[in-house]
Amino acid sequence: MAHISLKGNPVETVGTLPANGSEAPFFCLVKTDLSEAGPADFAGKRLVLNIFPSLDTSVCASSVRRFNQEAASLDNTVVLCISADLPFAQSRFCETEGLKNVVSLSVFRSPEFGRDYGVTIATGPLKGLLSRAVVIIDADGIVRYSEQVPEIVEEPDYSAALKVLV
């Protein structure tokens, strides 16, 4: 269980992020067209899992924009923006923002994702949503970087995450 905070107030998650060097847990999430996507759909690619509570917050929206701009331009890399937002809202956000270099995925059919990646918020007002985290998985399905952002209203360490990809 990770101990993080929301505006300074303690919050806990259901577990911890996968360890660096471990095999990434399987996932099956919903794309904006309501089809499902999992690791096989991105075989041979490096994955940036940008995990966050909701696109309806400024910090979450900023992380999607930033990863769209920076990580998506890297070779052999796919940025997956993962939240509990419904696919319709994810699609609307990306269209409005002109974001074409990220893949939005919803956990609304797959609560096990939050458990398997240790990011479901277990306490506090955001209980049931995902915490803010970044997980980078190499082309062989191995976790190479993970960051559980300690304060939900802060952005992840983009430099540290992107350094793994260069």
Average model confidence (pLDDT) across the chain: 88
Residue 32's pLDDT is what?
92
Range of 21's domain? 3-165
Residue identified by tokens 């930033």 is: 66
CATH number of the domain residue 50 falls in: 3.40.30.10
Q: Residue 56 has what pLDDT?
A: 67
Ranking 38-42, 62-66, 84-88 by mean pLDDT, the lowest is 62-66
pLDDT given for residue 50 in this prediction: 92
The mean pLDDT value for 72-90 works out to: 87
* Residues identified as active-site: 60
Over residues 54-82, the mean pLDDT reads 76
pLDDT single digits (tens) 92-150 = 776 776 666 678 899 999 999 999 999 999 999 999 999 999 999 999 999 999 999 99
Tell me what pLDDT residue 158 has. Answer: 86
Which pLDDT score, from 0 to 100, does residue 74 have? 85
Residue 122 is predicted with a pLDDT of: 95
Instruction: Indicate whether 65 pLDDT > 90.
Output: no
Q: Is the dihedral of CA 127, 91, 32, 37 positive or negative?
A: negative
- Of 25 and 3, more confident: 25
Residue 72: strand, helix, or coil = helix
How many independent structural domains does the chain possess?
A: 1
Query: Is the pLDDT higher at 81 or at 55?
Result: 81
